[in-house]
């Protein structure tokens, strides 16, 4: 395995870091026999991750992160490099067992991203509505498949993103109500669609994220958290949760393609409809239109 080091912290601890990375990757590959890392050209452990990302020609990304997959600038056949923040990595290895467990799971998921990178799913969307919802569906599949395959390495203290999903469930009805209220004030349908699309995309991606873990562990939500199961069952999310879970599992069995994507697009449309937004194609089939229903409380729109 080609592992490079840059910066004082990364270089001084190179022997230990190399041994740990090689051991963890070997363990992951031994457990996941179908995992293919042939697209990976090298791993770079660097003290200055943003500067290294820039050297590789990657655009800056918001937020703090431990690693990033980028195109290898020195590769002639489109291979990839996995960049690690060496200072963060060393701090994790100097910490407790819980931090190391989270590192293992993080690396496990990065390995599956590398596995999937050479063959991204083809975009089979042919209609304006399908193309508009395609990014949401693609993001859902990405979250679901990676989490399902990496479920065995979930740290024991992980909440599976359930707390985040619960927060979304609490905030979304009020947020969507606000967007619709603003629409009635300014009649800006494009802005309503753009903002609501972002909110629904976030929700559906979180649902797929959680469901991927649940299916990977072969456990229903109630066995993981009876409290969360009760919260979901009494919320606007209940019917969406049930159908989306079924469609993700069935689509995973079918494999990538339109047959797997169509049900998820309907689930996304159902999520919009929950808040009084009916998404459809225009009468001439050339664009996407949103019909806004009269304002009522979102929880009555099941």
Residues 173 and 295 in one domain: yes
Q: What is the pLDDT of residue 22?
A: 97
Residues 259 and 164 in one domain: yes
Q: What is the pLDDT of residue 121?
A: 64
Considering 56, 87, 116, which residue would you say is the last residue of a domain?
A: 116
For the segment 113-124, the average pLDDT, to the nearest whole number, is 78
- Mean per-residue pLDDT over the chain, rounded: 92
Q: What is the pLDDT of residue 284?
A: 81
Helix or strand or coil: residue 204? helix
Question: pTM for this structure?
Answer: 0.89
Residues 68 and 147 in one domain: no
Residues 105 and 232 in one domain: no
Q: What is the pLDDT of residue 288?
A: 86
155 neighbors 101 (Cβ within 8 angstroms): yes
Considering 64, 86, 116, which residue would you say is the last residue of a domain?
A: 116
DSSP type of residue 300? G
Q: What is the pLDDT of residue 63?
A: 85
Q: Compute the Cα dihedral for 103, 108, 109, 114 and give only its sign.
A: positive
Q: Is residue 14 part of a domain?
A: yes
Q: Which residue has the higher pLDDT, 118 or 124?
A: 118
For the segment 78-95, the average pLDDT, to the nearest whole number, is 95
For the segment 222-242, the average pLDDT, to the nearest whole number, is 95
Q: How far apart are CA 288 and CA 189, in angstroms?
A: 11
Helix or strand or coil: residue 153? helix
Q: Which residue has the higher pLDDT, 12 or 281?
A: 12
Looking at the predicted structure, is the pLDDT value of residue 296 above 60?
A: no
Q: Is residue 122 part of a domain?
A: no
**How many other C-beta atoms lie within 10 A of the C-beta of residue 191?**
13
Residues 189 and 254 in one domain: yes
Closest CA to 292 of 280, 274, 276: 276
Q: What is the pLDDT of residue 301?
A: 43
Looking at the predicted structure, is the pLDDT value of residue 103 above 80?
A: yes
Which distant-in-sequence residues (6+ apart) come within 8 Å of 157 by Cβ? 98, 101
Q: CA torsion angle for 104, 215, 217, 166 (degrees, to 10)?
A: 80
What is the residue range of 58's domain? 3-116
For the segment 208-220, the average pLDDT, to the nearest whole number, is 97
Helix or strand or coil: residue 1? coil
Q: Provide the pLDDT confidence category of residue 142 given band limits of 50, 70 and 90.
A: very high
Q: What is the pLDDT of residue 302?
A: 41
Q: What is the pLDDT of residue 27?
A: 96
For the segment 85-104, the average pLDDT, to the nearest whole number, is 95
Residues 154 and 105 in one domain: no
Residues 162 and 286 in one domain: yes
- Looking at the chain, the whole-number percentage of residues with pLDDT higher than 70 is 95
Q: Provide the pLDDT confidence category of residue 282 given band limits of 50, 70 and 90.
A: confident
Question: Using one digit for the tens of pLDDT, what is the confidence trace for 7-66?
Answer: 999 999 999 999 999 999 999 999 999 999 999 999 999 999 999 999 999 998 888 899
- Looking at the chain, the whole-number percentage of residues with pLDDT higher than 90 is 77
Closest CA to 203 of 234, 229, 170: 170
Q: What is the pLDDT of residue 285?
A: 76
Closest CA to 130 of 288, 284, 273, 243: 288
**DSSP-assigned beta bridge partners for residue 84:** 45, 67
Residue spans of alpha helices (H) in the chain: 8-12, 14-31, 49-55, 86-93, 97-116, 128-149, 162-186, 189-217, 221-224, 226-233, 238-254, 258-274
Q: What is the pLDDT of residue 68?
A: 97
Q: How far apart are CA 217 and CA 37, in angstroms?
A: 24
Closest CA to 141 of 228, 237, 248, 215: 248
Residues 108 and 134 in one domain: no
Closest CA to 266 of 130, 138, 125: 130
Q: Compute the Cα dihedral for 140, 143, 149, 153 and give only its sign.
A: negative
Q: What is the pLDDT of residue 300?
A: 44
Helix or strand or coil: residue 68? strand
Residues 208 and 289 in one domain: yes
Considering 116, 144, 163, which residue would you say is the last residue of a domain?
A: 116
Residues 136 and 93 in one domain: no
Q: How far apart are CA 165 and CA 169, in angstroms?
A: 6
Residues 291 and 222 in one domain: yes
Indicate the number of domains in the chain.
2
Q: Is residue 123 part of a domain?
A: no
Q: How far apart are CA 279 and CA 258, in angstroms?
A: 19
Residues 288 and 147 in one domain: yes
């Amino acid at each position: 395995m080609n592992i490079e080091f840059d910066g004082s912290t990364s270089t001084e601890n190179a022997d230990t870091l190399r041994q740990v990375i090689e051991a963890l990757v070997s363990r992951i590959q031994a457990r996941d026999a179908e995992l293919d890392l042939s697209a990976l050209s090298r791993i770079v452990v660097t003290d200055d991750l943003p500067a290294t990302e820039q050297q590789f020609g990657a655009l800056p990304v918001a937020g703090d992160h431990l690693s990033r997959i980028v195109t290898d600038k020195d590769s002639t056949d489109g291979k990839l490099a996995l960049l690690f923040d060496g200072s963060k990595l060393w701090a994790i290895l100097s910490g407790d067992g819980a931090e190391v467990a989270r590192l293992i799971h993080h690396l496990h998921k990065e390995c599956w991203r590398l596995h999937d990178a050479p063959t991204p799913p083809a975009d089979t969307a042919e209609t304006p509505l399908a193309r508009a919802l395609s990014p949401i569906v693609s993001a859902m599949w990405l979250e679901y498949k990676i989490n399902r395959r990496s479920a065995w390495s979930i740290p024991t203290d992980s909440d599976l993103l359930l707390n985040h999903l619960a927060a979304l469930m609490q905030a979304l009805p009020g947020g969507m109500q606000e967007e619709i209220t603003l629409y009635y004030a300014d009649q800006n349908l494009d802005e309503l669609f753009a903002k609501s699309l972002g909110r629904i995309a976030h929700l559906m991606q979180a649902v797929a994220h959680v469901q991927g873990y649940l299916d990977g562990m072969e456990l229903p939500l109630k066995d993981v958290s009876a409290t969360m199961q009760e919260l979901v069952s009494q919320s606007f999310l209940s019917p969406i949760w049930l159908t989306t879970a079924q469609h993700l599992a069935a689509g995973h069995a079918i494999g990538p393609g339109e047959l797997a994507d169509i049900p998820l697009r309907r689930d996304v449309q159902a999520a919009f409809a929950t808040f009084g937004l009916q998404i459809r194609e225009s009468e001439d089939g050339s664009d996407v239109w949103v019909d806004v229903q009269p304002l009522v409380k979102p929880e009555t729109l099941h």
